[in-house]
Structure 1
Amino acid sequence: MELLERIYQQALPSLEGKRVREVRIGLGLLAVELDDGALAVSYVLRDELPPGCAVIPAETPLRGIEAREMAAWAFKGRNPLFTSLGVAVLNSVVDPAAIERHSRDKLTELIRPDDQIGMIGYIEPMTHVLKSRTAKELIIFDRSREQLGAVYPESRQRELLPQCDILLVTGTTTLNRTLDAILQQAPKAREVILIGTSTPLYPEAFRTTKVTQLAGSLWRKEHRAAIFSAISEGRGMRALSTYGKKVFLAVPNR
């Protein structure tokens, strides 16, 4: 059973009886709200979507469908947009109070001065934090930024990832199903942190993987209008950051 299907099975009791009230899909982010007001945000991998204007066929309903049906798209989805919608539903039904109780941001505590740090997915604010904690140059990969020259080409992952002691991986790797391949290329990594709002907040589901920490976001019902408005206008995480709460969860030991 793949990761997202395991998460779906864990989430089923919380999905039961709920329906999708609203969906908002922007250029870089999307949001899904359930009929109880719970909501979550995930990324849109627009560079990996199929061509044409009908990424979601006209005959595929969104609003009003059962939450468990859309959640199943996380592992049954025909493209990364369907997968992202499914992940958003899965994250919308987590227990925010329980997650906040267990959340402890200890990223800086995990890093040693001589650690080689790698990043899959360029997150600018995070790079500043990481550079202040290690004397070594960061190894960063990001498909969307390769032509800008600020990151290493993806073709060098097999060469450079084995050098990493700490590896931060964007949660979008769960959307395009590249996470497993990346983890296999980093056998030395002492800590692997899955980061970003597409990170599924289900620590138990990662117990059998090399992922050790989950760094994601919770989204408040009271900010629903602002979140949906920002996504409709093509805004990014910087515009939405005040409407969510970042959380940091340890994955249970095997």
Structure 2
Amino acid sequence: AKAMPLSGRLSGRSAREYLDDLSSGNVLKRALGIATLNALSAACWDAMDHREYELELGTDAFDEVRLGRLPEYTVVVGALVPIIKKLIAAEASFHILEMDPSTLKPKELVYYVHADRAAEFVPQADRLVITGTTVLNGTLQGLLHMARPEAEIVVTGPTASMLPDAFFAHGTTLMGGILVTKPDELLDVISEGGSGYHFFGRSAERLVIRRPEVRESGCVAPRAKALS
């Protein structure tokens, strides 16, 4: 009851009440606030006649990370298995910032550094691939502030499925999330223990949100110093 004091009383709450919980000290309340923000973002996209960025359905953000031939250093924030596998296969130079080393396999631990050491590694990165969980736990702002202005920054995960303007204004070049297309069907699948294998392409789609000048020019535009 203490962890989620609103259990049994969530139905009927207004969207504004959920959004007010974005600043809550309770992580479960914040998660519901973010879920509400993501849902409202999808409604906004449906209503928009024009966007300053690109939405690509059916695209995996990890597939959009292009490993070049030139020496480059990547920092992965979180145990993001697909990109970690890709970097290992490419024999790339990288580290994994993670709070819990038990989430990594033995061959991945070679690249592990504790997340508390972010200030040592993030400013060196040519590329950052950041779990969307940082939106939930409040650490994304600090990571973006540490990053080099010219760094490629990818924020990905179901949490990062919202209007991207603030992210792009502070250096993010690409976001990867999920767009729910058939909510009732998705809830049925999840309630029956289903996973992405069961709902992608059916009741939800992978989503990539791309800052347009990145595709057009291949460069990264200047960003503001800190999130407001």
Q: Same fold (TM over 0.5)?
A: yes
Q: Which amino acid in 2 is paired with 1:182?
A: L
Q: Is the 8 A contact 2:186 2:199 kept in 1?
A: no
Q: Deviations 1:135-166 (Å, cap 9, x if unpaired)?
A: 42331122133586623222332222222111
**Cα separation, 2, equivalents of 1:207 and 1:131:** 28
Q: Which residue of 2 aligns with 1:68?
A: 16
Q: Which residue of 2 aligns with 1:195?
A: 156
Q: Which residue of 1 aligns with 2:39?
A: 92
Q: Secondary structure at the match of 1:247?
A: strand
Q: Which residue of 2 aligns with 1:122?
A: 79
Q: Is the 8 A contact 1:215 1:249 kept in 2?
A: yes
Alpha-carbon spacing, 1:152–1:101, altered in 2? closer, same or farther (3 Å): closer
Q: Is the 8 A contact 2:54 2:209 kept in 1?
A: no
Q: Which amino acid in 1 is paired with 2:21?
A: W
Q: Which residue of 2 aligns with 1:142?
A: 98
Which structure 2 segments of 5+ residues have no match? 213-220, 224-228
Q: Which residue of 1 aligns with 2:146?
A: 185
Q: Which residue of 1 aligns with 2:3?
A: 55
Whether 1:79 aligns to 2:40 is no
Alpha-carbon spacing, 1:63–1:126, altered in 2? closer, same or farther (3 Å): same
Q: Secondary structure at the match of 1:207?
A: helix
**Cα separation, 1, equivalents of 2:35 and 2:166:** 16
TM superposition shift of 1:185: 2.5
TM superposition shift of 1:201: 2.2
Alpha-carbon spacing, 1:189–1:136, altered in 2? closer, same or farther (3 Å): farther
Alpha-carbon spacing, 1:65–1:136, altered in 2? closer, same or farther (3 Å): same
**Cα separation, 1, equivalents of 2:86 and 2:154:** 14
Q: Deviations 1:192-218 (Å, cap 9, x if unpaired)?
A: 111000004212222321211111111
Q: Is the 8 A contact 1:146 1:153 kept in 2?
A: no
**Cα separation, 2, equivalents of 1:206 and 1:142:** 21
Of stretches 113-122 and 217-226 in structure 1, the one that deviates more from structure 2 is: 217-226
Q: Deviations 1:36-66 (Å, cap 9, x if unpaired)?
A: xxxxxxxxxxxxxxxxx52111588311111
Once the two structures are superposed, the pairs formed by residues 1-254 of structure 1 within 5 Å of their partners are 53-58=1-6, 61-74=9-22, 76-93=23-40, 94-95=42-43, 102-103=55-56, 105=59, 108=64, 110-113=66-69, 114-132=71-89, 134-145=90-101, 150=109, 151-187=112-148, 190-221=151-182, 223-230=185-192, 233=193, 241=200, 243-251=203-211
Which structure 1 segments of 5+ residues have no match? 1-52
Alpha-carbon spacing, 1:237–1:84, altered in 2? closer, same or farther (3 Å): farther
TM superposition shift of 1:250: 1.6
- Identical aligned residues as a percent: 23
Q: Is the 8 A contact 1:165 1:189 kept in 2?
A: yes
Q: Is the 8 A contact 2:161 2:176 kept in 1?
A: no
Q: Is the 8 A contact 1:193 1:213 kept in 2?
A: yes
| TM-score, with length taken from structure 1 | 0.65
